[in-house]
Amino acid sequence: MAVLKEEELYSPIKRYYEARGFTVKSEVMHCDMVAVHPERNETVIVEMKKTFNLALLLQGIERLRLNADVVLAVERNRKKSGAHNQRFGDLTELCRMLGLGLMTVTFYKTKAPVIEMLCEPGEPPIRGARHRKRERLLTEFKERSGDYNVGGSAGRKLVTAYREKALRCAYVLQASGPSAPKDVAAKTGFSRSGQMMRENHYGWFRRIERGKYALQPQGENALAQYGDVLSRWISETNFEP
């Protein structure tokens, strides 16, 4: 059940904090909600929006100048599971990184709204560094011979380190004719050439007999399309068929 106005979030959130001993007041110095706990000397500022957006995030950061504990509150709409503003796992981690709290309010037709506190203000991030992916990133970077892609572009297949190696295998087969994997490996400097041709991920290679591979028309087309990728390697290695 989607709300029509963000004001509809106010009452259930107010009840949530009042049930925890806070005194709640709205629109205090442009803050949507301010909750004060008289015994714990604790103050929470809550900013509300129907959906999570940049305006809400910037508002929350601005409120951190007034108070250490700031919570962003949005509706959790069960019918918009694919929307970017419903990626609550990522949004929660973002709020943790910024020191903000995040809560959602889910509305129902026949029962009271349900509030879920996804993270409290000041909680540390919980997603650790992904060391294996970082190693893969650096390996991919190092194994590319140059920068053959344009960031943000579409319409042309990315030139990855794997594609570069496949192109080298294809070039050897084009220049030398059908060859054994060990010969392709020797000329390309890529020890897994045989496995690559066997797997034939791009459909460029064809096994013509035991221990010998030839180039398919698709491979010829790829060499014509990505000739610029091979030019540096050919000149550096002084390749000879």
SS (H, E, C) 54-88: HHHHHHHHHHCCCCCCEEEEEECCCCCCCCHHHCH
Run of H or E residues at 164:
helix 161-176
Predicted pLDDT at 80 = 62
SS (H, E, C) 199-214: HCCCCCEEEEECCEEE
Q: From 20, 25, 76, select the one nearest 46 (Cα to Cα).
A: 25
Q: How many CA atoms lie within 13 A of 206 on its CB side?
A: 11
Tokens of 65: 């100048």
In tens digits, the chain (241 residues) has pLDDT values of: 566 778 899 999 999 999 999 999 999 999 999 999 999 989 999 999 999 999 999 999 999 999 999 999 999 987 765 556 678 999 999 999 999 999 999 998 888 999 999 999 999 888 766 788 889 989 999 998 888 888 776 666 888 999 999 999 999 999 999 999 999 999 998 999 999 999 999 999 999 998 899 999 999 999 998 888 888 888 877 766 6
Cα 109 to the center of its chain, rounded Å: 35
**CATH number for the 6-119 domain, one of 3.40.1410.10, 3.40.1350.60, 1.20.1070.10, 3.40.50.1980?**
3.40.1350.60
Classify domain 137-237 by CATH architecture: Orthogonal Bundle (1.10)
Predicted pLDDT at 150 = 81
Predicted pLDDT at 83 = 58
Predicted pLDDT at 1 = 57
DSSP code, position 27:
E
Q: From 195, 183, 194, 191, select the one nearest 241 (Cα to Cα).
A: 183
Quote the pTM value.
0.68
Predicted pLDDT at 153 = 65
Predicted pLDDT at 82 = 53
The ranges assigned to domains in the chain are: 6-119, 137-237
At what angle are helices 227-237 and 161-176 packed, to 10 degrees? 70
Judged by phi (left if over 0) then psi (alpha if -120 to 50, else beta), residue 41 lies in left
